[in-house]
């Protein structure tokens, strides 16, 4: 099905609406849109293009810098003098908060769940350690506990006369994700026009907020392609409900006169495998194929599974040599090092 949106408002109106939201500009944008011809050939598949959000800088890149332009923009507009972030020890978001905060000269306090037992200073956690962030490791991997720890930390900081802003794991962060990725879609469609690309689909690994931004942007700009979200967690129905709720709220906040056809929300849950953060054999194969054909590293949690979804689409015949597809590389690559054993459980082919 093609995403035929009614009531598109166009680039200027979308930009004007997004420009009313506080934002601090520091990400390396626009991120490159580049062809992946050797990957396409190896799949006997469509023309594949990568949108390289993994090069959005700082740190080691990733999708959160674009979001942080809005979350930190709001924090700075509110007069914050310290940011509080949370997640799990392997999470991408807190690491990118730390690098952004270092770059902007704002102190960051990080609370990371899932540290029961041995804490491995690798991947994202290593980068936070190197950056000198104040990292607190919590034993539980329950994100509700991490949320409560964020609130408690913010309270303690306020008691000490500081002005903290919580910049992860809140509803307003999800809203900012939609703004950021509507902005991404405007950037991508401008790049696609310049490159003369008319894709059949854009693929992204997301369980909700980032995907919702792409759908909002596509609706506002009258995109003629599908936006496919490959979720790393939950069911398609749960994710679609989350996306629909976010779209309703953000369209209202932005005051955009658009409606999104619910059929344009296309989330695939076939690649979750054993759950969030658990690698599948198909994702391992996708990561290794992309590295060996293009010199591009995907990640174990989001983009590896999303590429497994794109490859499955090629195998089913949904994507053929007549098609063009854009793959949103959203980063997460520091996590590769935390998954070394799973990624190399099969030896590489010897020469």
Ligand X SMILES: Cc1ncc(COP(=O)(O)O)c(C=O)c1O
Cα dihedral: 177, 207, 267, 271 (round 10): 140
Restricting to residues 87-116, name those near ligand X by CB under 6 A: 92-93
Residue with tokens 């999104």: 260
DSSP per-residue string spanning 120-188? ---HHHHHHHHTT-EEEE-S---HHHHHHHHHHHHHHHHHTT--EEE-SSSHHHHHHHHHHHHHHHHHH
- The stretch among 69-77, 131-139, 194-202, 326-334 that binds ligand X (CB under 6 A) is 326-334
Query: Is 209 near ligand X (CB under 6 A)?
Result: yes
Selected from 99, 122, 206, 240, the binder of ligand X by CB under 6 A is 206
What stretches of the chain show up as alpha helix (H) in DSSP? 11-19, 37-42, 64-77, 92-104, 123-130, 143-159, 171-195, 209-221, 236-254, 281-294, 303-316, 340-343
* Residue among 49, 211, 225, 297 that touches ligand X (CB under 6 A): 211
Q: Which stretch binds ligand X (CB under 6 A): 8-16, 205-213, 251-259, 312-320?
A: 205-213
Gap between the Cα atoms of 17 and 169, Å rounded: 24
* Among 73, 115, 164, 208, interactor with ligand X by CB under 6 A: 208
Question: In the window 288-317, what residues touch ligand X (CB under 6 A)?
Answer: 299, 302-303
234 binds ligand X (CB under 6 A): no
Of the pair 206, 323, the CB lying nearest ligand X is at 206
Q: How far is CA 335 from the centre of its chain?
A: 14
Pick the closer one to ligand X by CB: 9 or 203: 203
Residue with smaller CB distance to ligand X, 8 or 114? 114
List the structure tokens of 183. 């902005």
* Number of Cβ within a 10 Å radius of residue 32: 15
Does 207 participate in binding ligand X (rule CB under 6 A)? yes
Residue with Cβ nearer ligand X (36 or 157): 36
**In this chain, which stretch among 123-131, 246-254, 318-326, 328-336 interacts with ligand X, using CB under 6 A?**
328-336
Residue 50 in the binding site for ligand X (CB under 6 A): no
CA distance 123 to 129: 10
Q: Which is nearer to ligand X, 275 or 348 (CB)?
A: 275
Binding-residue total with ligand X (CB under 6 A) = 17
Shortest CB 177 distance to ligand X, Å: 6
Q: Report if residue 332 touches ligand X, rule: CB under 6 A.
A: yes
Assess contact for 214 and 204: CB atoms under 8 A: yes
Cα(224)–Cα(291) distance, integer angstroms: 30
Residues found near ligand X in the complex (CB under 6 A): 62-63, 92-93, 205-211, 299, 302-303, 330-332
């Amino acid at each position: 099905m093609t995403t035929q949106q009614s009531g598109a408002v166009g680039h200027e109106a979308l930009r004007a609406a997004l420009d009313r939201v506080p934002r601090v500009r520091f990400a390396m944008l626009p991120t490159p849109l580049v062809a992946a011809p050797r990957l396409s050939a190896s799949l006997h598949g469509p023309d594949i293009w990568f949108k390289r959000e993994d090069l959005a800088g700082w740190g080691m890149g990733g999708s959160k810098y674009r979001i942080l332009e809005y979350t930190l923009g709001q924090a700075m507009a509110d007069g914050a003098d310290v940011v509080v972030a949370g997640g799990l020890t392997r999470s991408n978001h807190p690491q990118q908060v730390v690098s952004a905060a270092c770059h902007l000269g704002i102190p960051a306090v990080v609370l990371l769940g899932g540290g029961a037992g041995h804490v491995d200073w690798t991947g994202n956690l290593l980068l936070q350690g190197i950056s000198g962030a104040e990292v607190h490791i919590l034993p539980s991997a329950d994100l509700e506990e991490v949320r409560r720890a964020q609130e408690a930390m913010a309270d303690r900081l306020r008691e000490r006369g500081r002005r903290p802003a919580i910049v992860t794991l809140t509803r307003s962060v999800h809203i900012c994700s939609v703004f950021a990725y509507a902005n991404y879609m405007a950037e991508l469609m401008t790049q696609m026009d310049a490159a003369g690309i008319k894709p059949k689909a854009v693929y992204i690994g997301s369980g909700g907020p980032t995907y919702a931004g792409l759908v909002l942007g596509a609706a506002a700009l009258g995109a003629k392609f599908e936006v496919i979200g490959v979720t790393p967690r939950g069911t398609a129905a749960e994710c679609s409900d989350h996306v629909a709720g976010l779209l309703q709220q953000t369209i209202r906040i932005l005051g955009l006169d658009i409606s999104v056809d619910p059929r344009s929300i296309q989330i695939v849950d076939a690649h979750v495998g054993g759950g969030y953060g658990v690698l599948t054999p198909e994702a391992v194969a996708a990561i290794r194929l992309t590295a060996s054909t293009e010199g591009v590293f995907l990640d174990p949690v989001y983009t590896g599974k999303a590429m497994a979804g794109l490859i499955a689409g090629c195998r089913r015949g949904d994507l053929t040599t007549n098609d063009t597809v854009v793959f949103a590389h959203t980063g997460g690559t520091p996590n590769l090092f935390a998954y070394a054993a799973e990624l190399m459980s099969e030896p590489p082919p010897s020469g």
